[in-house]
Structure 1
């Protein structure tokens, strides 16, 4: 019998591969990133991506491919959460002076809208916006950290500003 090029695309083999590796992958992601529920989601998404790429992955390389996907997904989720939490923490620290109650109320409403608008940005745009506006990083510094060109950072920032302006309006 000759072995096919894509044995992983056979449902029975994929199912067996899933049963052999799902639990250990879930535990690995849980131990590495510390979130049980998110680990289950990452494992599911990783196997979905493996199935979609089964013609490109051999049975010998499937485990490494699967773990690489899971690590990348988890890292991306954690980075996104960290940015979101850092921003939320700073947005809450707004000091309220002894202003008129109307001003305080308007300021709080605006901060809520701003926080929601920033949270709704796609990950890359939110990351670029917050690194620039909160951490005061230059486009060049962000490009070096992200491993992309300065032009890509400029484009992400432009898109983020457009989306924020559309959600909040001109102030």
Structure 2
């Protein structure tokens, strides 16, 4: 019984014969499975290129399944990529706003002044105010966290609001 001359497909003649024999069937498989949109011809060629790059690791008996698996995986990766692209196309960036630049600048200045006003509050007022207004906690929850009475929480939030109103009126 004749033994195969090589245990891999690195021989150019063997690879060329393998390519001629299986290229059309791989292309047809990819075309029928995924259609023409994802360019199955390129993926089939890339699969054979990968086979050539890894020819030392692939025996002639496994080469066909290797090429078909690589081609299929490349097409699946392309499908995933197209899904991501389509997902990003759905999210349209705001190309224009209804606000004019002057309004946007005033809004930014207002936010900066508000942040400064909040920073000027005492620590106890700022903590109670932010827990209530930003985190949405109730007075009872804040009292339990800070270990103070609910009346103290109410007073801190009231003082914080009064100071903020006063600072913002100056704007």
* TM-score interval, normalised by the smaller of the two chains: 0.5 to 0.7
Deviation at 1:11, TM superposition (A): 0.8
- Native 8 Å contact 2:38 2:78 kept in 1: no
Provide closer, same or farther for how the CA distance between residues 76 and 48 of structure 1 changes in structure 2, counting only shifts above 3 A: same
- Residue-by-residue CA offset, 1:10-42 (whole Å, 9 max, x unaligned): 111111110111111111111211135621111
Q: Mark the runs of 5 or more structure 2 residues left unpaired by the alignment.
A: 104-171
| 3-state SS of paired residue (1:98) | coil
Provide closer, same or farther for how the CA distance between residues 21 and 93 of structure 1 changes in structure 2, counting only shifts above 3 A: same
| 3-state SS of paired residue (1:8) | coil
Provide closer, same or farther for how the CA distance between residues 51 and 97 of structure 1 changes in structure 2, counting only shifts above 3 A: same
C-alpha RMSD of the superposition? 2.6
Superposition TM-score, scaled by structure 1 size: 0.52
Deviation at 1:71, TM superposition (A): 0.9
Distance in 2, matches of 1:21 and 1:39, equals: 14
- Native 8 Å contact 1:6 1:54 kept in 2: no
Aligned to 1:100: 100
Distance in 2, matches of 1:102 and 1:60, equals: 72
Q: Which structure has the larger Rg? A: 2
Distance in 1, matches of 2:100 and 2:90, equals: 24
Aligned to 1:44: 45
| 3-state SS of paired residue (1:60) | helix
Superposition TM-score, scaled by structure 2 size: 0.52
Aligned to 1:160: none
State the number of aligned residues.
103
